[in-house]
Structure 1
Amino acid sequence: MALNLQEQATRRMRRLVIALVAVVVILGALVVGLVAGSGSSKPDPKGPGAHRAPSSAEPSPTESASDEDSGYVAPQKWVKLPDGKKREKGFPVQFPHTGEGAVSMLVSSSRNSFSWDAKQVEANIRTYMVSSYTERMASAAGQAAQGVREHTGMPGSGPLPKGAKLTAWPIGVQWVEKDADHVSAFVLTRLTTVPGAGKKAKTELISLPSAATWEKGDWRIEPTPPNETQTAPEPGDLGSNQFNRSGWIAIQEGDRR
């Protein structure tokens, strides 16, 4: 019975991964490291840093770690990401042609990728996806929104429970500047779901591999080819030892858009 439940959970996780990767989420790889909590994989022995090389491992759900167990631990590194010069349909665009500019775009996209609203997911895709993938990804926006619904315990279709709320909050980043026009990155997002009015919120930490390319004067999301799939570093919440051990760089509050 336990094995059957585990297999069902694994299938649900894979469906969510496929839906998110097939559409948006940061779309930096065809396999997403979707991990709740502190994770079980070992951090990269090369150590933390903004230019940390990606590692490879299978994504796996784990229990969430509590900062109350060891007290608050200040992040060792912070980054102030640049703003986009303009906004289109509520999304910041025209980021600086720098590594930080690419990461800022990916962070902005991640805030809108986890959504129960297919229209919001599609708008996010059309704003940030490279042109060669825009239409095919946009056509799967409904699938992605459904995947997020199912993963967070919501009905796959129809009305949501009264008082239900979903918040995606990027809290950390890592990146590698391959050249002036291509950046590989990881974005650590805190996903909080309120199942309905009066119900307890559920929080997950999700590490996502991603890639950005400079196209037509701005940064765009580009899916990673299957032979270059990467698994994100072990997640850890702000204020935890794991956040620093995994090499995450905290995002300054002023960058929340």
Structure 2
Amino acid sequence: MALAAVIVLTAYAALGGDGDEVQSPAKGGASPSVSGSASPEATYAPPQDWTEPERWTALPRGQRADERGSQVGFPHTAEGAAAMAAAANATRIEGEQSSVDEQLRIYRSYVGKGDQSPENAKKIEAAAKQTDATLSQEMGVSAGQPLPSGAYVRGHVVGYKVIKKAPDEVSVWLLGLVVQKNGETKTEESSYTRTLLGVQWQDGDWKLTAEATRQAQQDIAGQPQPPMVAPGDEEFNTGGWTAIREAS
């Protein structure tokens, strides 16, 4: 499955970040599903042993959309930084919208100017093309063709944990959910991801940077990583995650 590659590509190919993924359906046996809205949110079947998340927040939205349709203009706060990081890890691939389209959009909208270069753009595009090739093979279409009707890969962030915050630099763990369906009659499959990111305040907005991400790696050295579990799992709380509500 290409699930995790879709959501983590930009952070690692461009910035040398750190992250991983694991197949982890929602506790209680029901896999999470994602709505068809433009800003998908998870819909869980609460497990019998549901444990209410101790920390909830509705992260702020960006003030506007840029020319690529990405939300930008986040508040100069730690929650604004987490909101930008979450936006940079939200992906939607279906129909003619490819991984190349999504990853280059994310790269150009959210990566700091100092980390953008022709070489990095080529790395992003090459890795995304490999993801598209894998998806095409899994979904039974020729490379370069639109995905089958009803097929999609969607990723979004369901929780976050601040590692360190300063006025102009914030590092966070992101807990992501990626879902993939290979066609109208296929079963949706899901995977949780854990992503480490550092962001800096640049030119009036938060941006992903290699410098901040390397600092985040140093800050967590020797520390246990938070578990990749769904909101509602007891370990979600013990791991220090904050659950994300959709902003109004």
Code of the aligned partner of 1:111: A
Choose between structure 1 and 2 for higher RCO, CA contacts under 8 A separated by at least 6 residues.
1
Code of the aligned partner of 2:143: S
Contact 2:18 2:217 in 1 (8 A): no
* Residues 254 and 242 of structure 1: CA distance in aligned 2, closer, same or farther (over 3 Å): same
Deviating beyond 6 angstroms after TM superposition, the runs of 4 or more aligned structure 1 residues are 12-18
CA distance in 2, matches of 1:30, 1:201: 28
Equivalent residue in structure 2 for 1:240, among 219, 233, 238: 233
TM norm structure 2 = 0.73
**Residues paired across the two proteins, number:** 216
Give the aligned partner of residue 127 of structure 1: 109
* Residues 23 and 112 of structure 1: CA distance in aligned 2, closer, same or farther (over 3 Å): farther
Cα distance, 1:183 vs structure 2? 0.7
CA distance in 1, matches of 2:215, 2:162: 19
Q: Mind listing any 5+ residue stretches in structure 2 that lack a counterpart?
A: 30-46
1:77 aligns with 2:55: yes
CA distance in 1, matches of 2:105, 2:8: 19
Cα distance, 1:180 vs structure 2? 1.1
Provide the aligned C-alpha RMSD in A. Answer: 3.3
Contact 2:162 2:171 in 1 (8 A): yes
CA distance in 1, matches of 2:7, 2:70: 24
Contact 1:78 1:250 in 2 (8 A): yes
Q: Tell me which protein shows more strand as a share of its residues.
A: 2
Code of the aligned partner of 1:225: R
Give the aligned partner of residue 140 of structure 1: 123
Could you list the per-position Cα deviations for residues 194-229 of structure 1 after superposition, in whole angstroms to 9, with x for gaps in the alignment?
012201010001111111011111100013339936
Cα distance, 1:87 vs structure 2? 1.4
2:50 alignment partner, SS class: coil
Give the aligned partner of residue 66 of structure 1: 27
Contact 1:146 1:156 in 2 (8 A): no
Q: Mind listing any 5+ residue stretches in structure 1 that lack a counterpart?
A: 1-8, 38-63
CA distance in 2, matches of 1:181, 1:23: 24
CA distance in 1, matches of 2:109, 2:11: 16
Code of the aligned partner of 1:205: Y
1:190 aligns with 2:177: yes
Code of the aligned partner of 1:123: R
CA distance in 2, matches of 1:118, 1:137: 13
Equivalent residue in structure 1 for 2:247, among 244, 251, 254: 254
1:157 aligns with 2:143: yes
Cα distance, 1:22 vs structure 2? 4.0
Contact 2:161 2:241 in 1 (8 A): yes
Percent identity between the aligned chains? 24
Could you list the per-position Cα deviations for residues 8-36 of structure 1 after superposition, in whole angstroms to 9, with x for gaps in the alignment?
x9xx9998899554446xx5x53322233
Give the aligned partner of residue 34 of structure 1: 21
Contact 2:64 2:73 in 1 (8 A): yes
1:228 aligns with 2:217: yes
Give the aligned partner of residue 101 of structure 1: 80
Cα distance, 1:171 vs structure 2? 0.6
